[in-house]
Amino acid sequence: MEEKELIPRLFRTEYRKIVSVLCYLFGIEHIEIAEDIVSDTFLSATELWSLKGIPENPTGWLYTVAKNKTKNYFKRHALFAKKLSAEIKYSSNGVEEIDIDLSVKSINDSQLAMIFTVCNPCISAESQIALALNLLCGFGIQEIADAFLTNKEVVYKRLNRAKEKLKIEKIRIEQPSPAEIDDRLNIVLITLYLLFSEGYYSTSQDTILRKDLCAEAMRLTYLLAENEPTNKPAVNALLSLMCFHSSRFEARINEEGETVLYSDQDTTLWNKDLIDKGIYYLNQASKGNKLSKYHFEAGIAYWHTHKEDTTEKWENILQLYNQLLQIEYSPIAALNRTFALAKANGKGKAIIEAEKLQLTDNHFYYSLLGYLYTDVDNEKALKHFKTALSLANSGADKAVIIKNIEGIYDTGKSH
Amino acid sequence: MDEFMLIFRRDHESKENQPSPEDMQASIKEWLDWKGSLAAQNKLVSSGNRLRPDGKVIKSDKMVINGPYAEIKEAIGGFIVIRARDYDEAVEMAKDCPVLRAPWSGSVEVRMLVSESNS
């Protein structure tokens, strides 16, 4: 592999690992030192590899250089090293004793601790995601800006404010105690869920970036599932949900980067391996006595891996939505529940329920009403679709609504 | 918006008024869909609980008797808490409750909860 391709790839996979280990070692107050050392390591790689060629073991080379740079930093900043060796329980016989452990286990432990640090409620959900992308996923500031459809300055400020806040609050980089784990894990899962959704539902046309966001959210969730203290039912349920959703990634976006509706998807593009993994983690998730919203969402996503429209499928989806809404209301879940009701109990009953929702600022609400009235009362259907069109913002949403309106006109002609 | 408790009562005693297991099974979906409907309107505050038909009653002299239903045949079978503008809306919502229909043919009592704002 060319060094031009290799370095960005290593940056994505190794930057976050070394940063995590160093942050874990240094503590939150010295987070920039850790970042500087690792950035400097990659800078050396760029300079030296282009002159002398790529070393035999590039990852090992990065680790060794990062370790040496850390030790040099300690030598130049003896006070810092002294303070550190007193804090961390290593025998303080000198700087050389401070062990920079870049083993797989140490990397995983450091990353797990960092997940809990980054997903701290003292900073906003948006900042948690940005910080997670930066420190846990090795995303550069430009990539984060692209993901959020914003500019570098905004991301840069957001990251710095978040880091400052973590320092002021003296958030420790550690995994929570068993007693706290459920509460803390809740917040982590919300962030990972948002990170995944950012990739899955993003309006960004950059398909590769969107896939990366989903993959990173899955990797971090997987890390939690593989770690005994955090291997909780809700973690497995979230991972299952992510597997089911991403199994349709190839099918739901066409070559032009446009969204393909579920009903129009080519099922041969669904990823069978991911569906199987989803089922596996859903089974793992059932080994507990508490059901989280992720359990219900994973259940719904499971039934969507069956393309056939059966009463059994829609009845199951309806009941899962009934339960999900009792745990956590959201307009989108209410709308989807009503769609499932139409499929399971018929359009007549669903129209009565849909009229009760009154989500009058939501274009999906009018699209749902339009769908329900189609072939029942096409005049009403048209009226609702036209309201939906006036409320929709994105071109993709408008295109779908226009298609529905044309569909009604076409059936009108054929009669 | 105020909160209202809907209390479901039905006859648990008379033999002729007890639903068959098939009737009960068929009614489960009605209950689930009704609660789902309230939740979809963001009007379900608490899914409440179902109560077992048996129970104890402690009188003021601390005498304990069996069964919660001393004078009337109907006993409380369960409750939920909903959110509604006023009694009229709460009553309209309660009218869809499956307990009012066969095989239960029971009743719903609607009671406004005392909150800080309306105490």
Q: Which of B107, B101, B100, B96 is nearest to B33 (CA)?
A: B96
Q: For residue B41, give the chain A residue with the closest CA.
A: A357
> Phi and psi of B45, rounded to 5°?
-85, -45
* Alpha carbon distance A359, A337 (integer Å): 14
Asked if the C-beta of A321 comes within 8 angstroms of chain B's C-beta atoms, the answer is yes
Spatial distance between the Cα atoms of A328 and A189, rounded to a whole number of angstroms? 15
Residue B24 lies in a domain: yes
For the segment A152-201, what is each residue's pLDDT rounded down to a tens digit?
999 999 999 999 999 999 998 998 988 888 888 998 999 999 889 888 88
Nearest to A210 by CA among A246, A234, A235, A239: A246
User: Are A107 and A227 in the same domain?
Assistant: yes
SS3 B70: coil
Quote the CA–CA distance of A244 and A249 in Å, as a whole number. 9
In this structure, is residue A345 part of a structural domain? no
What is the CB neighbour count within 10 angstroms for residue A326? 19
Q: Is residue B78 part of a domain?
A: yes
Q: Are residues A227 and A150 in the same domain?
A: yes
A343 touches chain B (CB under 8 A): no
A320 vs B: CB within 8 A: no
CATH of the domain at B62: 3.30.70.1060
Asked if pLDDT for residue A327 goes beyond 90, the answer is yes
- A82 found inside a domain: yes
Strand residues in A132-188 grouped as ranges (E): none
Q: Tell me, what's the pLDDT at A92?
A: 45
Question: pLDDT above 70 covers what percent of chain A?
Answer: 94
Domain count, chain A: 4
Inter-chain CB proximity A356 and B41 less than 8 Å: yes
Assigned domain for B16 exists: yes
B39: nearest CB among A315, A326, A341: A326
Closest CA to A241 of A166, A178, A320, A310: A320
Per the structure, the complete domain to which residue B78 belongs is given by 2-112
Lowest mean pLDDT among A133-137, A193-197, A204-208, B31-35: A204-208
Q: Tell me if chain B has a CB within 8 Å of the CB of A333.
A: yes
Based on the fold, state whether residues A224 and A276 are members of the same structural domain.
Answer: no
Query: Is the peptide bond between B21 and the residue preceding it cis, with omega within 30 degrees of 0?
Result: no
- pLDDT at position A213: 87
Q: Residue B119: inside a domain, yes or no? A: no
Q: How many CB atoms lie within 10 A of CB A387?
A: 18
Q: Does A340 touch chain B (CB under 8 A)?
A: no
Does some domain include residue A351? no
Per-residue pLDDT at A96 exceeds 60:
no
Assess A323–B contact: CB distance below 8 Å, yes or no. yes
Closest residue in chain A to residue B81, using alpha carbons only: A326
- Report the distance separating Cα A324 and Cα A322, nearest Å: 6
Per the structure, the count of domains in chain B is 1
Task: Determine, yes or no, domain membership for A123.
Answer: yes
Lowest mean pLDDT among A330-339, A370-379, B9-18: B9-18
d(CA A21, CA A38): 11
* CA angle at A107 for the pair A119 and A16, rounded to the nearest 5°: 60
pLDDT of residue A149: 80
Do A249 and A172 share a structural domain?
no
Look at the pTM and tell me if it is higher than 0.90: no
Cα–Cα distance for residue pair B105/A81, rounded to 1 Å? 78
Q: Please write the tens of the pLDDT for every residue from A364-382.
A: 999 999 999 999 999 999 9
Q: How many CA atoms lie within 13 A of A139 on its CB side?
A: 29
Q: What gap in Å lies between CA A341 and CA A179, rounded to an integer? A: 41
Query: Residue A31's closest CA among A223, A164, A145, A127?
Result: A164
Closest-CA residue of A relative to B92 is A356
Range of the domain at A296: 240-304
**Which of A231, A263, A292 is the last residue in one of the domains?**
A231
Same domain, A193 and A273: no
Tokens for A130, please give them.
Answer: 């940005």
Helix or strand or coil: residue A138? coil
Where would I find the beta strands (DSSP E) of B51-98? 56-58, 64-66, 74-84
Chains A, B: CB contacts within 8 A come to 43
- Interface contact B36-A321, CB threshold 8 A: yes
Q: A370 to chain B, minimum CA–CA distance in Å?
A: 19
- Residue A117: name the closest of A165, A71, A160, A70 by CA: A165
Helix (H) or strand (E) holding B49: strand B44-50
The answer to whether residue B117 sits within a structural domain is: no
**Domain co-membership, A279 together with A258:** yes
Residue A354 included in any domain:
no
| Residues A43 and A152 both lie in one domain | no
pLDDT given for residue A88 in this prediction: 60
- A154 and A214 co-located in one domain: yes
> If you compute the radius of gyration of chain B from its CA atoms, what whole number of angstroms results?
16
Domain boundary among A268, A283, A304: A304
Q: Which of B36, B41, B42 sits opposite A322 (nearest CB)?
A: B36
Strand partners, A130: none
Beta carbons of A323 and B44 less than 8 Å apart: no
HEC string for A18-87: HHHHHHHHHCHHHHHHHHHHHHHHHHHHHHHHHHHCCCCCHHHHHHHHHHHHHHHHHHHCHHHHHHHHHH
CA-CA distance, A81 to A14, in Å (whole number)? 24
**Residue A120 domain-assigned (yes or no):** yes
Note the pLDDT of residue B70: 56
Tens of pLDDT, residue by residue over A198-229, are: 888 876 667 787 888 899 999 999 999 999 99
Domain boundary, last residue among A231, A251, A285: A231
In angstroms, what separates the C-alpha of B41 from chain A's closest C-alpha?
A: 5
| Residue B58 falls inside a structural domain | yes
Judge whether B87 lies within some domain: yes
Q: What does the alpha-carbon distance between residue A406 and residue A119 come to, in Å, rounded to a whole number?
A: 46
In this structure, is residue A45 part of a structural domain? yes
What residues of chain A lie within 8 A of the CB of B80, using their CB?
A: none
Using the beta-carbon criterion (under 8 Å), do A334 and B33 form an inter-chain contact?
A: no
Quickly state the pLDDT bin for A357 (edges 50, 70, 90).
very high
Residue B29, pLDDT score: 94
This model of the complex carries an ipTM of 0.88
On whether residue A322 sits in a domain, the answer given is: no
pLDDT tens for B66-103 read 876 656 678 899 999 999 999 999 999 999 999 999 88
The sign one gets for the Cα dihedral A110, A138, A192, A220 is: negative
Q: Which of B30, B33, B34, B93 to substitute to test the interface with A, most A CBs within 10 Å?
A: B33
